[in-house]
């Protein structure tokens, strides 16, 4: 599987976002990408960061541009993972990623489950995992703050997921934040602990806390984009490639056996307060 991880300066301007998405989708297709992955709220803009509230939000324009981009993905025959916002009738909308197949059909939608306290002023949290096959590869989605909850990634592992697509909007800060230090190691830890690949797409409006990356099952970063710059990172998932898996007892641990080998029964082992 060839994956395009995309980053650009997401803004409140839906038409500008759509134009950037179109350019990067076309560029990715020309490089033979099968999956094109965009950041959190890539089309709609991110409430509370790119704009203050939902007053006057252009919902019809968002729907129009979504349909146009879906048509573009269909014409190029690619899978599209599109960060956006899903409108609800009686509640705050969902911060979401649409899963669009090469036939131009929305086959699923992931709604951000772990919204931050600030997010909850603008969005309703989701209540479901989103897992889907691309060929023989089982994939899943997470959005931004979800990364802080290893339970989600372990749940994906238990379900046989091989690739997790993570969409972020860690940008428009006033400079370096804790995200600049911890985000890549956190993602790498999830991949190494669960032996999975991850496309990690972050918006790049200045100041971008960290650049988009592609992470391998051994936890190493295989490629990264330039910080603060728009770009498309092309990476490959090769299932036959051998990567070191340091968690050889993972299957037993997931079943509740939280040690390796055979434990012993002896008085000196049981007495933990003596030399």
Q: Tens digits of per-residue pLDDT, 177-194?
A: 899 999 999 999 999 999
Q: pTM here?
A: 0.95
Q: Residues 247, 195: contact at Cβ < 8 Å?
A: yes
Residue among 17, 111, 112 nearest 68 (CA): 17
CATH of the domain at 212: 3.60.110.10
Q: What confidence score (pLDDT) does residue 36 get? A: 98
The pLDDT, as a whole number, for residue 26 is: 98
Residue 60 lies in a domain: yes
Domain count, the chain: 1
68 inside domain: yes
Residue 22 is assigned to a structural domain of this protein: yes
Q: Calculate helix-pair angle for 59-76, 14-30, nearest 10 degrees.
A: 10
Decide if 260 is inside a domain: no
CA separation for the pair 245, 58 (Å, rounded): 47
Q: Is the pLDDT of residue 205 over 90?
A: no
In a domain, 275, yes or no: no
Closest CA to 20 of 44, 55, 3, 2: 44
Query: Is the predicted pLDDT of residue 175 greater than 90, yes or no?
Result: no
The answer to whether residue 270 is domain-embedded is no
Residue 48 confidence (pLDDT):
95
Instruction: Mark 131-146 as b/e (b = at least 16 C-beta within 10 Å).
Output: bbebeebbbbbbbbbb
Per-residue pLDDT of 69-92, as tens digits, reads: 999 999 999 999 999 999 999 999
b (16+ CB within 10 A) / e for 240-259: eeeeeeeeeeeeeeeeeeee
Range of the domain at 80: 2-247
Residue 145, pLDDT > 90, answer yes
Q: What are phi and psi of 137, to 5 degrees?
A: -105, 120
Q: What is the mean pLDDT of the chain?
A: 96
Q: What confidence tens digit (pLDDT) does each residue in 101-116 have?
A: 999 999 999 999 999 9
- Label residue 180 exposed, middle or buried (CB < 10 Å: 0-12, 13-18, 19+): middle
The answer to whether residue 67 sits within a structural domain is yes
Residue 268 included in any domain: no
């Amino acid at each position: 599987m060839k994956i395009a991880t995309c980053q650009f300066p997401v803004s409140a301007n839906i038409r500008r976002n759509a134009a950037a998405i179109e350019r990067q989708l076309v560029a990715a297709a020309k490089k033979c990408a099968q999956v094109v992955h965009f950041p959190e709220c890539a089309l709609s803009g991110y409430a509370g960061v790119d704009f203050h509230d939902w007053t006057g939000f252009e919902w019809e324009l968002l729907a129009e541009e979504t349909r146009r981009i879906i048509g573009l993905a269909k014409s190029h025959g690619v899978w599209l993972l599109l960060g956006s916002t899903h409108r609800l009738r009686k509640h705050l909308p969902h911060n979401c990623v649409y899963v669009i197949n090469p036939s131009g059909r929305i086959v699923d939608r992931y709604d951000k489950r772990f919204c931050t306290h600030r997010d909850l002023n603008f969005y309703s949290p989701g209540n479901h995992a989103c897992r889907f096959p691309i060929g023989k590869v089982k994939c899943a989605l997470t959005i931004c703050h979800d990364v802080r909850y290893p339970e989600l990634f372990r749940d994906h592992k238990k379900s046989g997921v091989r690739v997790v697509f993570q969409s972020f909007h860690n940008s428009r800060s006033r400079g370096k934040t804790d995200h600049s230090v911890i985000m890549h190691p956190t993602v790498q830890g999830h991949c190494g602990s669960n032996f999975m690949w991850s496309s990690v797409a972050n918006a790049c409006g200045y100041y971008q806390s960290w650049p988009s990356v592609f992470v391998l099952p051994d936890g190493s970063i295989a490629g990264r984009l330039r910080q603060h710059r728009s770009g498309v990172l092309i990476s490959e998932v090769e299932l036959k490639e051998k990567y070191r898996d340091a968690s050889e007892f993972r299957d037993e641990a997931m079943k509740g056996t939280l040690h390796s080998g055979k434990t012993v029964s002896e008085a000196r082992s049981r007495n933990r307060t003596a030399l």
